[in-house]
Amino acid sequence: MAFRREKFVPNGGPSGGNGARGGHVWLEVERALNGLSSFRRQVHYRAKPGGNGQGSSMHGAAGADVTIKVPPGTLVRRAGEDAPLVELMEHGETHLLLPGGRGGRGNASFKSSQNQVPQLSEKGATGEEGWYELELKVVADVGIVGAPNAGKSTLLAAVSDAKPKIANYPFTTLVPNLGVCESDFKTVVFADVPGLLEGAHDGVGLGLEFLRHCERCEVLVHAVDGSSPDPVGDFRAIRTELELFSPELAAKPAVVAYTKMDLPDSSDYWEDMAAHFAAEGFEALALSAVTGEGVQALIRKLHDLLGLDEAAAADATWGEFAGAADDIAQRREERARKKAARDASWEKPNLADFVIEADRAVQTWHVSGRGLERFAQMTDWNYYEALKRFQRVLKVSGVTAALTKAGIREGDTVVIGETEFRWDPAMMGNEGRLYETWLNEIKEETKGNQGSARWPHSPGGG
């Protein structure tokens, strides 16, 4: 709270500037990230607070935002809740996780024709905080699934430059591995999903941890070990687990990769196995990741299933400036999305929307409502006019009438958010008693009578 007191300026007035908002906390998708390991080193993220308002109508500077980078495919949920809050997929996509608190207003903002000398100001709204859980589901074009030790990691190494761990024992792969295959000027991202067991849809063998990564894949490759005693049985078991986990997942386009053709136990039965898979409604391709047999045929088949040839032809007819136009439109859309997120987070709450709960054992009344709680928190009780304003708001919003109707008595405690006060109906409309009560409390707290010691000047100078 401030007033103009400049030499040769006969008509002064209120000049207290507004405080600025606190910084926002944003989530942004970064395609260069492929995991959540960075959050092991840093758990807490805090945006900067806004600057204070000053005299001469100088407003504070907004607090710096914090942008947290996450990989594509990140699910965000509040800690302890099952329903996801948001799902971030595309590179550059943003989400306003926590908005910064609004800045309080200086006394210049309260000036009106009816109150030309306002002697009050507001506190800034408390910023939000919370705990959130991040879950990553791998985003890939093709998911390689199969029983343990079916040759999935070997296949991933054959079609890409990935270097997964390969060994002759089950469950060599414990986390999904990603590999990028570039062939015929087309790029396909492969995901090697750890081996699945019977009962995986119920969590057997960390099945739920593995199966969820297949949900983002457009095409599935069933890696079937040709040297297994029962390749068809292994294939049917995996299909059953996919159907029980998610019918949508089982309905994705799929192709069978009959692996280990370099072994006699596999190649000798290829024709019979191909007939069995055809009877199941799936095309099977024979390949050996060790010798490279059938690998290119599998890649071309996946190009067809992903529709990359049609996409490449459409891109060629679009023109060389299409990318720049898309970037401009994307930036404009991102700015509009950010503004909409800020506006939604700062939506003015309704003061008349409240709930009253009585604890008659201790003579306490709890008034809960987002608007009232924020209003009470932003009220600066050091100013008498702020107390009068708070009393008017209680009356206009209907809190006073509701408490009276509910049977509140003099001396009972009323709690609104973190603010509590003693109920005294005699102060309603009695400014003399209200001012006396406020002044006594200020003196008891040794805070002084802010807002009246300097202006207007009193005969005693205080």
414: three-class secondary structure by DSSP: strand
**R_g over Cα of the chain:** 33
Model pLDDT for residues 391-450, shown as the tens digit of each residue: 889 889 998 899 989 888 888 899 998 888 888 887 777 777 788 888 887 777 655 445
User: d(Cα 337, Cα 94) in Å, to the nearest integer?
Assistant: 8
Do 194 and 229 sit in the same domain of this protein? yes
- Identify whether 112 is part of a domain: yes
- Identify whether 345 is part of a domain: no
- Identify whether 157 is part of a domain: yes
Residue where one domain finishes, among candidates 136, 160, 195: 136
- Identify whether 254 is part of a domain: yes
- Identify whether 121 is part of a domain: yes
User: d(Cα 193, Cα 201) in Å, to the nearest integer?
Assistant: 14
Do 73 and 123 sit in the same domain of this protein? yes
User: d(Cα 176, Cα 160) in Å, to the nearest integer?
Assistant: 15
Residue spans of alpha helices (H) in 229-379: 231-245, 247-250, 264-267, 270-279, 295-306, 308-318, 322-345, 370-378
Model pLDDT for residues 26-51, shown as the tens digit of each residue: 999 988 887 787 888 888 999 999 99
Do 109 and 163 sit in the same domain of this protein? no
Confidence of residue 304 (pLDDT cuts 50, 70, 90): confident
Among candidate residues 69, 45, 60, the one with its CA nearest the CA of residue 136: 69
What mean pLDDT is predicted for residues 251-279? 84
Do 116 and 164 sit in the same domain of this protein? no
- Name the percent of the chain in helix, strand, coil, to the closest 5: 35, 20, 45
Residue 379 phi/psi, 5-degree rounding, is -75, 130
- Identify whether 314 is part of a domain: no
Do 255 and 160 sit in the same domain of this protein? yes
- Identify whether 131 is part of a domain: yes
Output the pLDDT for position 266: 77
Model pLDDT for residues 205-243, shown as the tens digit of each residue: 444 456 776 777 888 888 888 888 888 888 888 888 888
Model pLDDT for residues 144-157, shown as the tens digit of each residue: 888 777 777 888 88
Look over the chain and give the mean of its residue pLDDT values, rounded to a whole number. 79
Do 382 and 399 sit in the same domain of this protein? yes
What mean pLDDT is predicted for residues 244-248? 81
Do 399 and 430 sit in the same domain of this protein? yes
Do 62 and 101 sit in the same domain of this protein? yes
Residue where one domain finishes, among candidates 81, 112, 136: 136
pLDDT at 317 over 70: no
Contacts of 369 (CB under 8 A, 6+ apart): 349, 351, 353, 354, 355
User: d(Cα 378, Cα 416) in Å, to the nearest integer?
Assistant: 12
Do 407 and 288 sit in the same domain of this protein? no
pLDDT at 461 over 60: no
Among 68-77, 143-152, 282-291, 397-406, the range scoring the smallest mean pLDDT is 143-152
Give the residue with greater pLDDT, 372 vs 162: 372
The CATH number assigned to the domain holding 217 equals 3.40.50.300
Residue 83 is classified by DSSP as S
What mean pLDDT is predicted for residues 336-364? 76
Model pLDDT for residues 83-134, shown as the tens digit of each residue: 888 888 888 888 999 998 889 999 999 998 888 889 999 999 888 899 999 9
What mean pLDDT is predicted for residues 353-373? 89
Among candidate residues 383, 378, 428, the one with its CA nearest the CA of residue 401: 428
Output the pLDDT for position 115: 86
- Identify whether 336 is part of a domain: no
For the question of whether the overall pTM of this predicted structure is more than 0.75, the answer is no
Do 184 and 301 sit in the same domain of this protein? yes
Query: How many Cβ atoms are within 10 Å of 249's Cβ, its own excluded?
Result: 19
Output the pLDDT for position 455: 39
Do 148 and 130 sit in the same domain of this protein? no
Output the pLDDT for position 113: 86
Identity of residue 49: P
Residue where one domain finishes, among candidates 291, 306, 321: 306
Model pLDDT for residues 156-206, shown as the tens digit of each residue: 888 877 666 555 545 555 566 777 888 777 778 887 777 665 544 444 444
CA 380 to chain centre: 32
Number of domains the chain is built from: 3
Among candidate residues 194, 276, 271, 285, the one with its CA nearest the CA of residue 236: 276
User: d(Cα 97, Cα 88) in Å, to the nearest integer?
Assistant: 12
Query: Which residues form the domain of 3?
Result: 1-136
Output the pLDDT for position 162: 66
User: d(Cα 222, Cα 200) in Å, to the nearest integer?
Assistant: 16
What mean pLDDT is predicted for residues 267-283? 84
The CATH number assigned to the domain holding 427 equals 3.30.300.350
Do 124 and 150 sit in the same domain of this protein? no
Give the residue with greater pLDDT, 254 vs 180: 254
Output the pLDDT for position 238: 83
Q: Write b or e for each residue in 25-45: b if 16 or more Cβ atoms lie within 10 A of its Cβ, otherwise e.
A: bbbebeeeebeeeeeeeeeee
Using alpha carbons, list the distances in angstroms from residue 38 to 35, 43, 134, 179, 324. Answer: 8, 9, 12, 21, 32
Output the pLDDT for position 154: 82
The CATH number assigned to the domain holding 5 equals 2.70.210.12
